Amino acid sequence: MRADARKNYDQLLAAAREIVARDGAGASMRDIARQAGVGFGTMYRHFPTREALLEALLRTGFDAMAARADDLEASSAPDEALVTWLRETIAAAHAYRGVTASMIAAIEDPRSALHGSCVAMRSAGARLLAQAQAAGLARNDIDGTDLFAFVGALAWLADQPALAPRTDRLAGIIVEAILMRDLRNPGVMPSEPSSPVDG
Amino acid sequence: MRADARKNYDQLLAAAREIVARDGAGASMRDIARQAGVGFGTMYRHFPTREALLEALLRTGFDAMAARADDLEASSAPDEALVTWLRETIAAAHAYRGVTASMIAAIEDPRSALHGSCVAMRSAGARLLAQAQAAGLARNDIDGTDLFAFVGALAWLADQPALAPRTDRLAGIIVEAILMRDLRNPGVMPSEPSSPVDG
DNA sequence: ACCTGAACACCGTTCAAGT
DNA sequence: ACCTGAACACCGTTCAAGT
């Protein structure tokens, strides 16, 4: 890759990060090329489709969340690892407004440029879920794709200005349901031995 | 309203229903006008904004769901009323692909044409929730807007082809969490008298 | 090799001209 | 009163012409 091409590539990615954060996944391609100081044709040479551009933009973040899952798996209890990973992943997805739909469409389309990153992230979450399930800390009737679906739905909530402030609390309710916890009484701490945990 | 204007209005609405069902909330306005056999100007005379058109399209459905809440409140146990209403409302929202976001944005914008219908529907759901809460059948730490948020998130799930088949099951998990039920063992039917139902 | 922008076929929206 | 479509400023995308 020639030096000028490399520079254009980097500038396009930087511009895309800025414009997509401002205007969402449907941002104007022309705006991105303009912001990068590059001709439209150059942009299409580097990224033949909008999805290819989003892919390059998201791969870094996705790979980071997959790696984060590994760290959490090693350092935390299975349930806490899962909770932390879910919260951070929702927050990360929210950083790219509106991309969640493309992300989810990519997971079952092997031809999509986003496919690899999506599958890797789903696997990372699925591993954490399996750990929690093996420890008897999470319900057994959901899988990694269900987890992915919840992340997507909650990231979508975070994208709605009217609902964003409630996202954390609603995520908490879903996490409770996944972890089979019962935290309904706000005054009672989970340290109280209220549930029968016999095998 | 003149007879020809009335006819154009109705044809625009019918065309919008068809095109929006096919292409979602971002459907081409020109397509709708063309499908209706009406000039662009005529369309903008009747519906000055895209939101105004969506509003007219959705108001009927929203009002129906509000009325449905009244029926259910009168005819069913509070928890079953809430479950049924949630499922039907998610299905109804899904019939208008992608409009959920506009619907939710409208709820806190009194100037939006959708505002009235949204608030009415939220109130209907909130009433069912309050009934279930009063009967001790639903958790007390959520309100009508939370319910609305769950409906939106689940309708969004139903809009994603890759996740649509799981929507019902995931809705069930959320409903369980709202109703404080524990149906985690798939083999056990709820007919088993496991919960104390004394009043 | 790589870059560029005129060119094409669209889009949402407006408004002068029609009946 | 109401309808219409040319006109404007955009958009995504391509491709012949340049270096």
For each of chain B's 199 residues, which pLDDT tens digit applies? 789 999 999 999 999 999 998 998 899 999 999 999 999 999 999 999 998 999 898 888 888 898 999 999 999 999 999 999 999 999 988 878 888 887 888 888 887 778 888 899 999 999 999 999 999 999 999 999 999 999 999 999 998 989 999 999 999 999 999 998 754 444 333 333 334 434 3
**Amino acid B42 CA to nucleotide C15 C1' distance, rounded Å:** 12
Instruction: For helices B115-134 and B50-75, give the axis angle rounded to 10 degrees.
Output: 20
User: Confidence class of residue A182 from pLDDT cuts 50, 70 and 90?
Assistant: low
- Tell me how far apart the alpha carbons of residues A193 and A191 are, in angstroms, rounded to a whole number: 6
For residue A33, report the phi and psi dihedrals to the nearest 5 degrees: -60, -45
Please name the member of A104, A139, A150 whose beta carbon is closest to the beta carbon of B160: A104
Contact A141 B104 (CB under 8 A): no
Interface test with A, best of B99, B104, B185 (most A CBs within 10 A): B104
Asked if A157 and B157 come within 8 Å (Cβ–Cβ), the reply is: no
- What integer is the mean pLDDT of A136-140? 96
The whole-angstrom separation of Cα A147 and Cα A93 is 14
Cβ contacts of A77 within 8 Å, gap of 6 or more: A135, A137
Of A116 and A74, the structure prediction assigns the larger pLDDT to A74
CA–CA distance, A11 with B63 (Å, rounded to integer): 50
A150 within 8 A of A143, measured Cβ to Cβ: no
Tell me whether A93 touches chain B (CB under 8 Å).
no
Using one digit for the tens of pLDDT, what is the confidence trace for A51-61? 899 989 888 88
Measured distance CA(A30)–CA(B6) in Å, rounded? 41
| Alpha carbon distances (Å) from B184 to A22, A81, A134, A181 | 42, 22, 16, 12
Q: A164-168, A179-183, A186-190, B95-99 — which one is most confidently predicted on average?
A: A164-168
- Chain C: positions less than 7 Å from a protein CB are 1-7, 10-16
**How far is Cα A173 from Cα A166, in angstroms, rounded to an integer?**
11
Query: Among B139, B153, B177, whose Cβ lies nearest the Cβ of A156?
Result: B153
Task: Please work out, in degrees rounded to the nearest 5, the angle formed at the alpha carbon of residue A130 by the alpha carbons of A125 and A134.
Answer: 155
- Six-digit token string for B15: 């065309």
Would you list the DSSP string of A39-106?
-HHHHHHH-SSHHHHHHHHHHHHHHHHHHHHHHHHHHS-HHHHHHHHHHHHHHHHHTSTTTHHHHHHH
Please name the member of A139, A157, A162 whose beta carbon is closest to the beta carbon of B107. Answer: A162
How many whole angstroms separate alpha carbon A86 and alpha carbon A70? Answer: 13
Nearest CA in chain B to A139: B184
Is A118's Cβ below 8 Å from some Cβ in B?
A: no
CB spacing of B104 vs A162 below 8 angstroms? yes
pLDDT, mean of residues A68-85: 95
What residue ranges define each of the domains in chain B, with the CATH number in brackets? 1-48 (1.10.10.60), 49-178 (1.10.357.10)
Contact yes or no for B96/B19 (Cβ under 8 A): no
Which amino acid, A120?
A: A
Structure tokens that stand for A164 in this block: 């964003």
B168 touches chain A (CB under 8 A): no
A10-37 residue pLDDT tens: 999 999 999 998 998 899 999 999 999 9
Nearest to A159 by CA among A94, A62, A88: A94
Nearest residue (CA) to C1' of D15: A41
Looking at per-residue pLDDT, the higher value among B69 and A181 belongs to B69
Nearest-Cα distance to chain B for A85, in Å, is 20
CB pairs under 8 A between A and B: 86
CB B157 within 8 A of CB B99: no
Instruction: Return residues with beta carbons within 7 A of strand D.
Output: A 27-31, 40-41, 44, 48-50; B 1-2, 4-5, 8, 38-42, 44-46
Question: A77 touching B, CB under 8 A?
Answer: no
Q: A193: pLDDT confidence band, cut at 50, 70 and 90?
A: very low
